[in-house]
Amino acid sequence: MRMRNWWKLVWVEIGSKPLADLHPMTKNVLNELEKRLATGPLRHDAPVPFFHFYGGKMQKDVLGDGKQ
């Protein structure tokens, strides 16, 4: 099976200017990671962002945030 969406792997340094052609969801994930790393070490019990598309729009839910 050929994965057509993954054609080039590029390493991006956290904190550097994101590449202009990154997918918006990838930019959101990197921004979220940068914010979390700035607050200190990552914790295994911290809430986890879950990015997805619903109705054609990008959504961010948080898993494990204590909200029902």
Q: Is residue 4 part of a domain?
A: no
Give the C-alpha separation, 44 to 25, whole Å: 23
Q: Is residue 60 part of a domain?
A: yes
Q: Is residue 38 part of a domain?
A: no
Tell me the average pLDDT of the chain: 81
pTM of the shown model: 0.66
Q: Is residue 48 part of a domain?
A: yes
For the stretch 19-33, pLDDT in tens is 677 788 888 888 898
Q: Is residue 57 part of a domain?
A: yes
Range of the domain at 59: 23-29+44-68
Better-scored residue on pLDDT, 4 or 50: 50
Give the C-alpha separation, 19 to 10, whole Å: 9
Q: Is residue 61 part of a domain?
A: yes
Give the count of domains, the chain. 1
- Is 59's pLDDT higher than 90? yes
Q: Is residue 15 part of a domain?
A: no
- Is 8's pLDDT higher than 60? yes
